[in-house]
Structure 1
Amino acid sequence: MSSEILINITPMESRVALVENGVLQEVGVERTLHRGLVGNIYKGKVARVLPGMQAAFVNIGLEKAGFIHVDDILTPLINCEPSDAGDIRLYLREGQSVVVQVIKDPISTKGARLSTQLSVSSRFLVYMPDVAHIGISQRIEDETERERLRGALEVALSGNEGTGGYIIRTAAEGVEAGELAKDVQFLNRLWGHINETSRQLSAPSVVYEDLPLYLRAMRDMALPVVEKVRVDSGEAHGKLCDFAAQFNPEMVPMIECYSEDRPLFYLYGVEDEISRALEKKVPLKSGGYLVIEQTEAMTTVDVNTGAFVGHRNLEETIFKTNLEAASTIARQLRLRNLGGIIIIDFIDMQDLEHRRQVLRALEKALSRDRAKTTLASVSELGLVQMTRKRTSESLGQLLCEACPVCDGKGSLKSAETICYEILREILREARAFECSAFLVLAAPVVIDRLLDEDSAYVADLEGFVGRTIQFRVESMYSRDQYDIIPV
């Protein structure tokens, strides 16, 4: 499978797209004014301790205070019994300075999720100064290769005076011991700089900021199958080449500065794909379709056969639609960066073997996802439950905002409903105010209905309250917006 990384740089934002076999698989967007915070290290001040939630709010200098749970704190302030280890008051107190790292970006009304379990990353390793452990990415499945990498890292650490633990990243598969040794030296120097900076700063302050999006893409996305990296900025091209020369020299020849007239993201229809990724409905090649709904609590995916009628029987039609949907769902989760709890409602299948095959197809498609996913079996209701690690806002949350008309509900009250509300409100105000008439200001569609279909109700109400009712169209009003003025 061949892959390309496309990097679009503008003063307002940076965008990175991962294209596999000509099809967009992942897209990342980083706004200049709203850079992602995951990986940043801050010296913060504890603003509030919440014993009931076993958590605390920490002021790290952002608009919203960060949130830290007791499970994300390494050591208590004082020695305590194991039975008391879950009490947040033994770990933090109000006004205390604490060095924390962002593990989840602020989302909606929630502040950043924080941890005192700090780590910094390089091309092949993640360094964790507060633990003594060597771990290996689960995506490296070959046991011989895992043992070779563990041995190579232990050799690299044998002459190292520093302490701490390491995780060997997926990108390290097949690399020489010397490359791991270089990463160890780099991470030790970086951690020394972070330590010194945190001692000198007062809270709240930024101690360390992670790399910008396009450099993180080189570090995290540059898999062995990547054949080319195209970037449309000369300045960013120079930084990418310098970064690659330091951490991944074999990629330097792959980095290309794109200078054609046609915008880079139009090469593989990336712009169109991004627009389609913001829609609820996703068409399938067979004629079926998916409906993807993202809510605060979870994301739901509904599979429908649509216009696909198959060639043999209903069970075959359902099976083929579900198989196609499985691969499409995995791609859409990556493309839209959907995380948290995900419920997939495949079309009901009677054949148990068909269910197993669809589930295996979904597992295989999800195996290419860099985010951690956990997949459960089909439930009694025929639903597939899964989770996908969420560290930042989804594409929809990043690029869109709630509709100011419906306030994000996705629906509006009908004109009929609004008209009846107005008539009830006039009746209420007639009892409360002494006046000779009422003036109703409302949207055109509401006024039209009051003067047409509901005119008989208006006439009856005028007779009942003994006052005239006047109407005025306000073209700037939304459908459910109105005012009733006693005159």
Structure 2
Amino acid sequence: MKGRTIALDHIDTREAAALIVDGRLEDFFLAADLPTPGTIYRASVERPMKGQGGMFLRTPDGSAFVRQVKGLSPGQTLLVQVTGYAEPGKAIPVTTKVLFKSRYAIVTPDAPGINVSRRIKDDDARESLLSIAHDTMDAGDFGDVDGFGLILRSSCHGADPAEISEDIAAMADLAVQVMSDRTGDAETLIEGDGPHLMAWREWTDQADIDNAGGSFARHGVLDAIDQLTRRDVALDGKASMAIEPTRALVAVDVNTGGDTSPAAGLKANLAAVKDLPRQLRLRGLGGQIVIDPAPTAKKDRRQIESTLRAALKRDTVETVFVGWTPLGHIELQRKRDRLPLTEVLK
């Protein structure tokens, strides 16, 4: 099936959203019981973490940890935002750089200035968007936004100016209200977006929407999820890769299968690194990623690395290419902004 489809449904009682492109599952959001990235707390300082340059904080959802802060004392309150999911037994990762993100606009209270996404290259479009932004911020009745910044996302390109202006105003109004609510006990001020709202916010390209009950079954999402809970991933030809999460890292082993041709290793490795970001995204895997490529000549490393970097650039999850190890493995460091799918489905 050609085209893009967004399916909004539930798995058991959990809200979920799936993006299907040309019949293949490209992205997937599933509600979890843990604090969602984007959640904003008024938190209370508990104690510093010596040697790590950070502080433990008290929130309504448990202990949180913020890095690179100075001048804080126990009992002091501050606004923080959840940046990802905590590993089992660890504190919730948060930051003091609070953002208010929507479909078209991101309001940045601590970073003044109005900017347009670099993905929008057309000069006329950029000028038009800047005009909309300035007019909305200057004319708004949502309070004092001096010192607030604004980023217009790439989704603004070709969008209705009235919708963009409305989105900016809504985010600015929300930012003013939250940023002025700094005093009091630890409290959740804003909940992070759920899967359906995340789908509206992040999947902005033209797509068909199927929000009727049973949409996952109709579009093959449930079968795709079943495949994601398995270790092995079939690649082109006879090749495959095995993706195995451990406590320390995610191991990825690339195999040529029964293909013994001279180019089998390179073909398997290229197919693996092209699909790996999607597999990690759908499986909700992050942290340290170690890839054991199929045997191939050392001269092929540049092509494999180039293909992997291109695939990571298109991915929505921040991932750093660390490099090659002496044993010929590839190391990546990936942000933990999703929970492992197998844990959520338990």
Q: 1:343 to 1:141 in 2, by over 3 A?
A: farther
Within a 5 Å distance, the mapping from 1:220-231 to structure 2 comes to: 220-221=202-203, 223-226=204-207, 228-231=208-211
Structure 2 residue aligned with 1:335: 282
260, 273, 281: which one aligns with 2:232: 281
Q: Which amino acid aligns with 1:104?
A: G
Does the 8 Å CA contact 1:60/1:203 hold for their aligned counterparts?
A: no
In 1, the alpha carbon distance for the partners of 2:332 and 2:18 equals 25
1:385 aligns with 2:336: no
Q: 1:351 to 1:55 in 2, by over 3 A?
A: closer
Within a 5 Å distance, the mapping from 1:12-31 to structure 2 comes to: 12-31=13-32
More strand by share: 2
1:167 aligns with 2:114: no
Q: Which amino acid aligns with 2:287?
A: G
Does the 8 Å CA contact 2:236/2:268 hold for their aligned counterparts?
A: no
69, 79, 84: which one aligns with 1:104: 84
Indicate the SS of the match to 2:307.
helix
Does the 8 Å CA contact 1:24/1:270 hold for their aligned counterparts?
A: yes
1:320, distance to aligned residue in structure 2 (A): 1.8
Identical residues among aligned pairs (%): 26
1:126, distance to aligned residue in structure 2 (A): 0.9
Indicate the SS of the match to 2:31.
strand
Within a 5 Å distance, the mapping from 1:408-487 to structure 2 comes to: none
1:364 aligns with 2:310: yes
In 2, the alpha carbon distance for the partners of 1:50 and 1:290 equals 40
133, 150, 155: which one aligns with 1:153: 133
1:66, distance to aligned residue in structure 2 (A): 0.7
In 1, the alpha carbon distance for the partners of 2:234 and 2:12 equals 34
Structure 2 residue aligned with 1:210: 192
TM-score by length of 2: 0.87
Q: 1:157 to 1:360 in 2, by over 3 A?
A: same
The structure with the largest alpha-carbon Rg is 1
Structure 2 residue aligned with 1:94: 74
More helix by share: 1
In 2, the alpha carbon distance for the partners of 1:300 and 1:46 equals 37
1:338, distance to aligned residue in structure 2 (A): 1.7
Does the 8 Å CA contact 1:121/1:127 hold for their aligned counterparts?
A: yes
Structure 1 residue aligned with 2:42: 43
1:198, distance to aligned residue in structure 2 (A): 4.5
86, 91, 99: which one aligns with 1:119: 99
Equivalences, count: 340
1:373, distance to aligned residue in structure 2 (A): 2.7
1:121-141 deviations in whole A, cap 9, x for unaligned? 121111111221344445x16
1:44, distance to aligned residue in structure 2 (A): 1.8
In 2, the alpha carbon distance for the partners of 1:301 and 1:137 equals 34
1:67, distance to aligned residue in structure 2 (A): 0.8
1:14-54 deviations in whole A, cap 9, x for unaligned? 111111110112222114xx154211111221122233322
In 2, the alpha carbon distance for the partners of 1:135 and 1:373 equals 24
1:9, distance to aligned residue in structure 2 (A): 2.9
In 1, the alpha carbon distance for the partners of 2:190 and 2:198 equals 15
1:195-254 deviations in whole A, cap 9, x for unaligned? 45554xx31211122332211211112x2242x1111xxxxxxxxxxxxxxxxxxxxxxx
Does the 8 Å CA contact 1:2/1:225 hold for their aligned counterparts?
A: no
1:142 aligns with 2:159: no
Does the 8 Å CA contact 1:376/1:386 hold for their aligned counterparts?
A: yes
Q: 1:98 to 1:351 in 2, by over 3 A?
A: closer
Does the 8 Å CA contact 1:30/1:36 hold for their aligned counterparts?
A: no
In 1, the alpha carbon distance for the partners of 2:323 and 2:116 equals 27
In 1, the alpha carbon distance for the partners of 2:237 and 2:94 equals 45
Does the 8 Å CA contact 2:65/2:92 hold for their aligned counterparts?
A: yes
1:335-374 deviations in whole A, cap 9, x for unaligned? 112222222222232263x433333333333343222233
TM-score by length of 1: 0.63
Higher RCO (C-alpha 8 Å, min separation 6)? 2
In 1, the alpha carbon distance for the partners of 2:325 and 2:12 equals 48
Structure 1 residue aligned with 2:321: 375
1:143, distance to aligned residue in structure 2 (A): 6.2
Q: Which amino acid aligns with 1:344?
A: I
In 2, the alpha carbon distance for the partners of 1:118 and 1:271 equals 35
Does the 8 Å CA contact 2:136/2:169 hold for their aligned counterparts?
A: no
Q: Which amino acid aligns with 1:317?
A: A
1:379, distance to aligned residue in structure 2 (A): 4.9
324, 328, 340: which one aligns with 2:271: 324
1:183, distance to aligned residue in structure 2 (A): 2.3
> Cα RMSD between the aligned structures?
2.6
Does the 8 Å CA contact 2:120/2:154 hold for their aligned counterparts?
A: no
Q: Which amino acid aligns with 2:258?
A: A
1:87-108 deviations in whole A, cap 9, x for unaligned? x3x2x11122222221122331
1:303, distance to aligned residue in structure 2 (A): 0.4
In 2, the alpha carbon distance for the partners of 1:147 and 1:280 equals 45
Structure 1 residue aligned with 2:166: 182
Does the 8 Å CA contact 1:145/1:174 hold for their aligned counterparts?
A: no
1:154, distance to aligned residue in structure 2 (A): 4.1
In 1, the alpha carbon distance for the partners of 2:77 and 2:49 equals 17
Give structure 2 stretches of 5+ with no counterpart. Answer: none
In 2, the alpha carbon distance for the partners of 1:380 and 1:143 equals 45
Structure 1 residue aligned with 2:344: 398
1:381-435 deviations in whole A, cap 9, x for unaligned? 43333233222322133234xxxxxxxxxxxxxxxxxxxxxxxxxxxxxxxxxxx
Q: Which amino acid aligns with 1:214?
A: H
In 1, the alpha carbon distance for the partners of 2:24 and 2:64 equals 37
Does the 8 Å CA contact 2:104/2:168 hold for their aligned counterparts?
A: no
In 2, the alpha carbon distance for the partners of 1:103 and 1:35 equals 12
Indicate the SS of the match to 1:186.
helix
